[in-house]
Structure 1
Amino acid sequence: MGIKCDVLSIHVTEIRLENLNINGRIDADSLCKLPSLKFLSLATNHIAGNIPKSLSNCLGLTYLNLSSNMLNGIVPASLESLKNLRSFDISNNDLTGYIPHFKQEIELVYNNTTISGMPDNTTDFTMKTSDGKGANMEEEKAHRLTWAITTLTMVLLIALFSLFIFFTHKKNRKATEVKESKECIHGSSASSYTAGTEDDIEKGGEVRDFVFFGERQEGFTTDDLLTSAADLQGQNFYSSLYKIRLKNSSIFAVKRLKNLHVSDDVFKQKIMRMGNLKHPNLLPLVACHSSDHDKLLIYRYQKSGSLSSLLSSYAEREVDIPWRKRLFIMRGIARGLDYIARELDEDSAPHGNLKPSNILLGETEEPLISEFGILNLLYAKRALLYSSYGYRAPEKELTKKADVFSFGVILLELLTGKVVQKSGIDLPKWVKFMVREEWTAEVFDAELNREGSRWAFPLLNVALKCVSHLPEHRPDISEVLEKIEHVLNSEEDYSMSSPSSVESNQQDRMVMHKTSETPGNC
């Protein structure tokens, strides 16, 4: 809230933190590290101290509002170097001294302060105070009119020259776009569509520069995306995620990849394999776009949210997660991971960044694993830096057994009701401690104790094996899936009068005390 970024970039352009009871001093050095910052308002807070001289390094500022704070001291003369500043409000503070000698036309608001005076020479800039009076001279108006006519003439000449250059290179640019579209994910089962051949381009034909996967084809172009409403959902070192609503009301999630360290051929090969993976528990890739400037992955937007949002809502007691629903989520994730592990080669990490926020919920709330394969596009060491801490395996490697560890943490979240990303808890460590102290029954949350605690014990057993410290002590994902499906089938056939079921349940409880670091199968 209060922070705005440039669409399809990582640059902050606006900071509006008003009336938030913020105190402390202004850290101008940090603010001026934002190269695209244009709008800064810290009005109506409790900010004290001086206005930093280093604020003059924020050269892109056009609007600066520091009014209604507890600022004191003089207004730094160095602020006159802010050549782009058009509005400057320092009213309702305890400032003294002089207003900087700005050369450009600017709106200054400084009433109700203790400013002692103004510079003697004020004829070469326009000042508008809070009462709307100007300090400009008639000759200044004539000067600006002459300057405007000269500028307009130059702009027209530049525009004519730019049009000439544009039409000269238009044919070559379109031909290049067609070539990139055809080459993206060469040789896959995906379908590449263009609205014209290369001969058509010579005649001004339009190009659709996406490669689509699956049977259902979407007819949109990069222009459609760039002219549609886009909301930034999140970003990190290697990607930015946007929610985009097209003009036809279709909603897509667009992931823009950046800072990749793979060749174009390797990128195409990796994305080809991702796009061809089809499973009910994987978020399908709709389309991709690859060019020198952008690499985009397009998915259908899932309005049901993620497992992370579901667990957070449950922790806040806003929703319930019945035991059967938890079982289906566990099984769906395990099925998706098992499919990925079987389909990808040994050199590829099955996922690499498994966590609840990367598990989306479909229309029927079935789990859909997203983000699989993306970390394969980074250097392995760098990719590890962006794996989620609470779900990352101790060995810090991108392997199948590391994914099993991450899945084990998610299993523990579903069993305990605790949210790692929200609480920061080391969940495997806490559960192992509870089991070691023979407080195993206290591990499960209240809803689980009401509905499915008798079946939760064997799943807690397998979850603890998954989060074993050593990779060789963890089961394969196929073994985990087999155990989850066994619990689901057994629960359906369960009878309260069945002695064998009770005995099996008791055995699982006894095994709990030996599973924290003991090697073995599920």
Structure 2
Amino acid sequence: MVVCLAKPEESPETGKKTAKREGSIKKKPAAADDQEKDNKIMFFIGDSHAFNLDDLLRASAEVLGKGTFGVTYKAALEDGAIVVVKRLKDMHVRRREFEQQMEVGGRMKHENVAPLRAYYCSKDEKLPIYDHYSRGSLYSNLHDKGERRAPLDWESRLQIGIGIAQGIAYIHMQNESPLQSTGGGETIHLVRWVQSVVREEWTAEFFDTQLLRYPNIEEEMVEMLRIGMACVKKKKVI
């Protein structure tokens, strides 16, 4: 599930790599007896998109990001529509279980959760499909240093953080089970990294130095860090 303003990830494998990392979405061949079922994209009721698997495979695809669960792509369809496709990898879940979880995701309606518009599922491929947000990812809004935008101030970041927390809380209330991945590839576990720094001493190493120009801001950031650490603390089972 994608929370609004979270980092857009990358799209399915690109064919030919270019400087812009563009190509097309590829899929592995399905068995003949499964081909008819596997070629169908499942849309949720009320969705206005009108495209099929062939349209998706012909789409120009740009990698948006990579994560533990796969690659996220921005796919530009021939009719001009733009969607975001997450290509899940190494998912240890049966097809029926995956479809059930997609159905749960399709019913979610919350202003801080990106709506799941459709999905594609075959033996070899599992592709959730979302709307594309043109304002970019949270990561790019925080770290882009180009002339397109000014750095987000502390109050804006607090409001974004609260919105993300509300979206995650809503997802947890839906009894959405997490999909399991082998976690292949090199990834950074943000919580463990912050915990390791905190164990050493309170430090500004993980604070954005752009914010330190505001007066008395470090105390507020430390307090927010304490709240975040409390939220991810594991409960001991007796």
TM-score by length of 1: 0.34
Unaligned runs of 5+ in 2: 1-10, 20-31
Is residue 2:7 matched to residue 1:242?
A: no
1:391 equivalent in structure 2 = 190
Query: Residues 400-419 of structure 1: matches in 2 within 5 Å?
Result: none
Secondary structure (helix, strand or coil) at the match of 2:72 reads: strand
Structure 1 CA distance for aligned equivalents of residues 121 and 42 of structure 2 = 9
Query: Residues 143-182 of structure 1: matches in 2 within 5 Å?
Result: 177=36, 180=37
Q: How far has the Cα of 1:247 moved from its partner?
A: 2.3
Asked if the contact 1:288/1:296 (under 8 Å) is kept, the reply is yes
List per-residue Cα deviations over 1:364-384 (Å, max 9, x = no partner): xxxxxxxxxxxx154xxx24x
1:463 to 228, 232, 237: 228
Equivalent pairs, count: 211
Q: 1:325 to 1:209 in 2, by over 3 A?
A: same
Asked if the contact 2:68/2:187 (under 8 Å) is kept, the reply is no
Is residue 2:214 matched to residue 1:450?
A: yes
2:62 to 220, 231, 239: 231
2:139 equivalent in structure 1 = 308
Q: How far has the Cα of 1:285 moved from its partner?
A: 0.8
Q: How far has the Cα of 1:307 moved from its partner?
A: 1.7
Unaligned runs of 5+ in 1: 1-6, 17-171, 182-207, 350-375, 394-425, 474-522
Asked if the contact 1:214/1:286 (under 8 Å) is kept, the reply is no
List per-residue Cα deviations over 1:413-451 (Å, max 9, x = no partner): xxxxxxxxxxxxx4444355443xxx78x9674535526
Asked if the contact 1:257/1:296 (under 8 Å) is kept, the reply is yes
1:82 equivalent in structure 2 = none
Q: 1:211 to 1:328 in 2, by over 3 A?
A: same
2:235 to 434, 454, 472: 472
List per-residue Cα deviations over 1:464-489 (Å, max 9, x = no partner): 43465xx128xxxxxxxxxxxxxxxx
Could you say which structure has the greater relative contact order, defined with CA pairs below 8 angstroms and 6 or more residues apart? 2
Is residue 2:170 matched to residue 1:339?
A: yes
Code of the aligned partner of 1:458: E
Q: How far has the Cα of 1:327 moved from its partner?
A: 0.9
Q: 1:272 to 1:463 in 2, by over 3 A?
A: same
Is residue 2:126 matched to residue 1:295?
A: yes
2:111 to 276, 280, 284: 280
Q: How far has the Cα of 1:287 moved from its partner?
A: 0.8
* Higher gyration radius (CA): 1
List per-residue Cα deviations over 1:136-182 (Å, max 9, x = no partner): xxxxxxxxxxxxxxxxxxxxxxxxxxxxxxxxxxxx97x962xx37x
Q: How far has the Cα of 1:330 moved from its partner?
A: 0.9
Structure 1 CA distance for aligned equivalents of residues 161 and 140 of structure 2 = 16
Structure 1 CA distance for aligned equivalents of residues 210 and 41 of structure 2 = 49
Asked if the contact 1:252/1:298 (under 8 Å) is kept, the reply is yes
Asked if the contact 1:323/1:451 (under 8 Å) is kept, the reply is no
Query: Residues 495-510 of structure 1: matches in 2 within 5 Å?
Result: none
Q: 1:458 to 1:305 in 2, by over 3 A?
A: same
List per-residue Cα deviations over 1:213-269 (Å, max 9, x = no partner): 253321111122223322244457853432211222211112233433322212211
Code of the aligned partner of 1:253: V
1:264 to 67, 92, 95: 95
List per-residue Cα deviations over 1:301-323 (Å, max 9, x = no partner): 2222222222322699x731112
Code of the aligned partner of 2:211: E
Structure 2 CA distance for aligned equivalents of residues 336 and 283 of structure 1 = 9
Q: How far has the Cα of 1:283 moved from its partner?
A: 1.5
Q: 1:452 to 1:303 in 2, by over 3 A?
A: farther
Structure 2 CA distance for aligned equivalents of residues 387 and 277 of structure 1 = 31
Q: 1:320 to 1:241 in 2, by over 3 A?
A: closer
Structure 1 CA distance for aligned equivalents of residues 156 and 172 of structure 2 = 24
Q: 1:328 to 1:297 in 2, by over 3 A?
A: same
Asked if the contact 1:434/1:443 (under 8 Å) is kept, the reply is no
Secondary structure (helix, strand or coil) at the match of 1:275 reads: helix
Secondary structure (helix, strand or coil) at the match of 1:389 reads: coil
Q: Larger helix proportion, structure 1 or 2? A: 1
Q: 1:456 to 1:387 in 2, by over 3 A?
A: same
1:488 equivalent in structure 2 = none
Structure 1 CA distance for aligned equivalents of residues 164 and 232 of structure 2 = 16
TM-score by length of 2: 0.69
2:150 to 315, 319, 322: 319
Structure 1 CA distance for aligned equivalents of residues 76 and 195 of structure 2 = 40
1:499 equivalent in structure 2 = none
List per-residue Cα deviations over 1:278-307 (Å, max 9, x = no partner): 221112111112234543221112222222
